[in-house]
Structure 1
Amino acid sequence: MNLESQKVTVQKSAEYIFNELSQVKNFEKLMPDTIAKFEVLDENAFIFGLKGMPEIKLKMKEKVPTSKIVLGAASDKLPFTLTANIQETGAASTDVQLFFDGEFNAMMAMMIKGPISKFIETLAENMHKL
């Protein structure tokens, strides 16, 4: 299942956005209002829970300086990645787009597609909070 957020423009440099997203603690600023739990486990991992959803542990998988950050599920039960593509469009202007890529059976995909789509849209919309 592949989902993508809208592309958002943030009035910050690509380097700034990359550095902020490289610190997992900053993802708390991007979370929706329905967050029930957010806990940093170490410098590369955090766990979060939204009301009515199971808790999810994410860990840093890949960093490509100033252009890409990839987070992945720490559990093999629900294998997925969340990728932030960062593209500088000016001295203090950057486009950010999120991509969710997961391998789920058809039933699970049907159940989670709506909530995950809404979740990544919220993360993208909140990029200006960094």
Structure 2
Amino acid sequence: MMSPNNKNLWGELPKNVEVRTPYLILKEQASILTQMTKGLLIGEVDRKPVLQNVFIARLRIRVPELNSYTYSVVDVQYPLKLYPLVIKDYTSSEQEIQCSSEQEFEVTLGKILSSDQVKRVISTLLAEIQSGDKVQEETF
């Protein structure tokens, strides 16, 4: 509680901020993957601060049916001001790509997520799940 002698030197704080952070964009894509595969593959994103003004967010695919096996797709390292950011693409020999805007980030992320490498990983993981189901059925 502010006492009458205290002055607010902060001014008005922003309300209803409508900024789509790189973390939020990754969370949206993780959710879409989970929905598209009906929960067979779970998109997950975690985020951690690594320096005073820098965060890293990692998008992974988790497969509950395969003892929660996880596959890292990308890391996104971004500053507090959001851009420019760097994407580390684990699907193509850990290539690093710099993006200077939200639009550039979405285009680059879209190319990675819809790439042949990622589609191959997804189809292999789904095939592993199906082959596991067949083995269980044969066991009973």
Give the TM-score, by structure 1 length: 0.37
The structure richer in strand per residue is 1
Which of the two has higher C-alpha Rg?
A: 2
Which gives a bigger RCO, structure 1 or 2 (Cα 8 Å, sep 6+)?
1
Between Structure 1 and Structure 2, the one with more helix by share is 2
Please report the TM-score for the alignment, with normalisation by the length of structure 2.
0.35
